[in-house]
Copies of this chain bind each other. A is one copy, B any other.
Amino acid sequence: MDFYNYESRVNRPLMAKLSELKSSNDRLKHIIFSAQLDRELLEHLASVADMVRALSQSREGCDFLSSLLAHKRAMLYFTQPSTRTFLSFVAACQLLGLSLAEVRDPSVSSEVKGESPYDSVRMFSSYFDVIIMRSVVPNFAECCSYLMNDLDEFNHRSVPIVNAGSGADEHPTQALLDIYTIQRTFRFAHPKDSSSWTRFDELRQKYPALTRGLSGKVYGFCGDIGRGRTVRSLAQLLSRWNNITMYFIAPDHPRLRLGADLKNRLLDAGVRVHEVQSFDDAGEDGRPVIESVDCLYMTRVQQEHDKGHEADAYAGADMTRYRLNRELVNRMKDYAAILHPFPRDSRVGEIPTEIDNDPRAMYFRQARNGMWARAALLAFLFDVDGRIASRFQKDFSDFHDYNVGVL
């Protein structure tokens, strides 16, 4: 792929790029990097996602939501296979009324006729109002956002680019939904919460130091730490909260353990970082890690990224120690959340199905949260989040605070 004049721009430090991805009114113009999601924006998007979820429970709310962007058309340009991300974007667009078109198979596209990928993307921008893209080519979504910015500068048509996964690199909307799931979990809301009883108060009987929110929590990341883009993105976003402890539970293998760059970045952000090789290794307080974590983020060893000799290199690593089982889960805190970016590998079994009905298993809700979070992001990009908030306040004005978390 020819990066035209984008190569030098790609090679700049991340911080130098972020301002280009904002629009004049300081909203997001494109979403390319998870670093664009600051804590304030993450809190805002979580609140929009909650409101979309609540409104969609009634027929009237659905009709309102699906009218919001009924005049817009989205292109889903997914040349890297991804059923889950793809379908949750489809559902998110449908919730907001966006019309959809998709290009998934690069072999049917005009690129076989020698078309430059930039011509293809500019073509998409001719017909559609947002391009949601996933590609194996690193930095391709980023470069497309530069293309759109250049077009804008010359008063040509320009549309937002949404990065739905770029190589082994960035996957900002996955980070968004991971954070949203943790935000919801650590609200400790319960359908039976009332003025006389809340689950949070009950939990505090057993865990007196428990607080609401992401700060002050212990996060475990297990499995493929070195290459998993979801771990990298999530850990960095979590580092924006205060008083964070992280355990990275992975084999001591150069490809799989925590990389030095990420470790340094987390340490610089004030995170207490620990690398261990087992759930039973002792943590800060001397107790086994599995009993300490408030949130455990499991991952799959991503074999599809492997190139021959690399796969061989860590074939010796004993991955059985990085699998959950019933007994381990029973030792976790009552309220601890188990997440997984999915798909999980049924051959490896990092989370066996016997865990699925445990109340700590959040991974299916996490998948569904992807739909709400992506709908919130699209609403924000198209500046209709304010209308969602107005409608929500009207429809749910007599709603008690302690119920909002479970809407």
Contacts and interface: CB of A to CB of B under 8 A. Distances in A.
A157 B346 contact: no
A357 B151 CA distance: 9
Interface residues of A, number: 62
A154 B343 contact: no
B126 A371 contact: yes
Nearest to A98: B94
Nearest to A108: B81
A345 B120 CA distance: 12
Interface of A: 2, 4, 56, 59, 62-63, 66, 70-71, 73, 75, 81-84, 87-88, 90-91, 94, 99, 101, 103-104, 107-110, 112-116, 118-120, 122-124, 126-128, 154, 156-157, 300, 302-304, 342-348, 353, 357, 364, 367-368, 371
A272 B293 CA distance: 70
Closest 9 pairs (CB-CB, A-B): A115-B343, A62-B71, A114-B345, A116-B346, A91-B127, A110-B343, A126-B368, A94-B99, A81-B108
B112 A368 contact: no
21 contacts: A62-B70, A63-B71, A81-B110, A81-B112, A83-B103, A83-B110, A88-B127, A94-B101, A113-B300, A113-B302, A113-B343, A114-B344, A114-B346, A114-B348, A115-B342, A116-B344, A119-B342, A120-B343, A123-B342, A123-B364, A157-B368
A156 B364 contact: yes
Given A83-B120, A113-B302, 13 more contacts: A2-B346, A4-B353, A56-B71, A63-B71, A73-B91, A82-B110, A113-B345, A114-B346, A114-B347, A115-B343, A116-B344, A118-B353, A119-B343
Given A73-B91, A94-B99, A364-B122, A109 B83 contact: yes
A343 B83 contact: no
- Copies of this chain per assembly: 3
B66 A71 contact: yes
Nearest to A366: B126
Contact of A115 (B73, B107, B122, B346): B346
A276 B128 CA distance: 40
